[in-house]
Amino acid sequence: MTKPEILPDLVPMDVAGRTERVRVSAGESQCDALLVTNLVNVRYLTGFTGSAGLVWLGPNELVLITDRRYAEQSESESSQASVDVRIEITNDAPKEILAAAATGVGRIGLEAASVSWADQRKYAEWFEAAELVPTAGVVERCRQIKDDGEIDRMAKAAAIADAALAEVRPMLADGHTEQEVALALDTAFRRLGAEKSAFTTIVAGGPNAALPHIRPTDRPIGPNELVIMDMGAVVDGYRSDMTRTVSVGEPDPEAQRVFETVREAQQLGVEQVAPGAPISDVDKACRTRIDAAGWADAFVHGTGHGVGLDIHEQPWVRATATEPLEVGQVITVEPGVYLPGFCGARVEDTVVVTDSGPRRLTHSPKTLAVS
């Protein structure tokens, strides 16, 4: 749901149009109906942001089932999103509601990644006349292609992160700890209008920067060391993702070479972002540059991922992803080099695939100097 009082100028999203697109996607997976239990997917289809609920996407109707805590919220969020959905409120197991909705339906898709073994057995009992089909990515396939409203929210989240980093960057020179700097970023996100941080903000200096997903520690940021800062904000559910590597003073020449290699690799990767280009080209461009510098084994993670309602979602940017990039996808490009015990560098932007090439949403400067 939009929050007009905080963000008055957000481009509207076409939430209502998602029902039919997901129905088509379910059909491609040979399902006549889909039981949506992943709460992010529930939100995607209905606008409902509550912590409990599921959606029945039948051949002719969309039904949101939630409990009495959410009676009012489910009505107001789905009507703000202009979604044609029947809402059922119950504090009991919705066996009768679902069995009635499923009358005459042959094949019902379950979201394999979000249905537990116990739930699967329960649904088999509830839908005894139907065939249950495990599915993967039926809704997620649709979520990959963002409309203008979704991109607008991500652009705002990215702009908030840019502003927060500009504000906090000078703090690094004052001997603060990683945790203090991370907290300052998180606080700035909220003050600037974000709902929250998109994930646990990473601030990692010196040898800690060699650990790609370390959490901020109480180690003070020192002079002449590389500091990795990986951050994102959330606006109306949509996330941004950006990493910058900075240094207070001049790092040693080898660390500088690590940084410059990563910065160049990232630029080369972003340049490959174009509709129709294999996703793997982005990965290849980054890896080729890092390999040439002799650090192939020090680039220990994937090159990027889709971003949206989840921080990590389809598509994955890696060597095996040979499918073409499509207009409306939003991905990260984030090569890194990590030399244990010494230093690490990563540079990451959130990038939209457009007809005219890559559109970066994250704009913070990629200079090492903190101020």
Lookup result for tokens 């979704």: 150
364 contributes a contact to Zn ion by CB under 5 A: no
Tell me how many residues contact Zn ion (CB under 5 A).
Answer: 5
Of 138-146, 169-177, 220-228, 329-337: span binding Zn ion (CB under 5 A): 329-337
Closest approach of Zn ion to the CB of residue 242, in Å: 6
Closest approach of Zn ion to the CB of residue 32, in Å: 36
Closest approach of Zn ion to the CB of residue 81, in Å: 27
Contact 261, 337 (CB under 8 A): yes
Q: Whose Cβ is closer to Zn ion: residue 206's or residue 232's?
A: 232
Of 141-149, 260-268, 276-284, 340-348: span binding Zn ion (CB under 5 A): 340-348
Q: Whose Cβ is closer to Zn ion: residue 85's or residue 198's?
A: 198
Q: Whose Cβ is closer to Zn ion: residue 74's or residue 197's?
A: 197
Contact 178, 205 (CB under 8 A): yes
303 contributes a contact to Zn ion by CB under 5 A: no
CB burial readout 216-255, b (16+ within 10 A) else e: beeeebeeebbbbbbbbbbbbbbbbbbbbbbbbeebeeeb
Of 5-13, 20-28, 172-180, 327-335: span binding Zn ion (CB under 5 A): 327-335
CB burial readout 180-205, b (16+ within 10 A) else e: bbbbbbbebbeebbbbebbbebbbbb
Closest approach of Zn ion to the CB of residue 319, in Å: 17
Q: Whose Cβ is closer to Zn ion: residue 58's or residue 216's?
A: 216
Q: Whose Cβ is closer to Zn ion: residue 77's or residue 241's?
A: 241
CB burial readout 152-162, b (16+ within 10 A) else e: bbbbbbbbbbb
Q: Whose Cβ is closer to Zn ion: residue 197's or residue 243's?
A: 243
Closest approach of Zn ion to the CB of residue 37, in Å: 26
Q: Whose Cβ is closer to Zn ion: residue 33's or residue 242's?
A: 242
Eight-state DSSP code of residue 84 = -
Closest approach of Zn ion to the CB of residue 350, in Å: 8
Of 91-99, 114-122, 254-262, 348-356: span binding Zn ion (CB under 5 A): 348-356
Of 217-256, which residues contact Zn ion (CB under 5 A)?
230, 241, 243
332 contributes a contact to Zn ion by CB under 5 A: yes
Contact 311, 177 (CB under 8 A): no
Q: E-strand spans in the chain? A: 33-36, 54-57, 62-66, 86-89, 107-111, 131-135, 196-197, 202-205, 226-231, 233-235, 238-239, 242-247, 304-306, 313-317, 330-333, 336-339, 343-346, 349-354, 357-360
11: how many CB neighbours lie within 10 A of its CB? 14
Q: Whose Cβ is closer to Zn ion: residue 135's or residue 303's?
A: 303
Closest approach of Zn ion to the CB of residue 368, in Å: 18
Closest approach of Zn ion to the CB of residue 241, in Å: 4
CA dist., res. 198 & res. 81, Å (int): 22
Q: Whose Cβ is closer to Zn ion: residue 163's or residue 311's?
A: 311
Q: Phi-psi bin for 294: left (phi > 0), alpha (psi -120 to 50), beta?
A: left
SS3 for 334? coil
Taking CA atoms, 153 is separated from 38, 49, 113, 233, in Å, by 21, 16, 27, 10
Of 85-124, which residues contact Zn ion (CB under 5 A)?
none
350 contributes a contact to Zn ion by CB under 5 A: no
CA dist., res. 50 & res. 52, Å (int): 6
Of 22-30, 178-186, 253-261, 342-350: span binding Zn ion (CB under 5 A): 342-350
Closest approach of Zn ion to the CB of residue 277, in Å: 20
Which residues form the interface with Zn ion (CB under 5 A)? 230, 241, 243, 332, 348
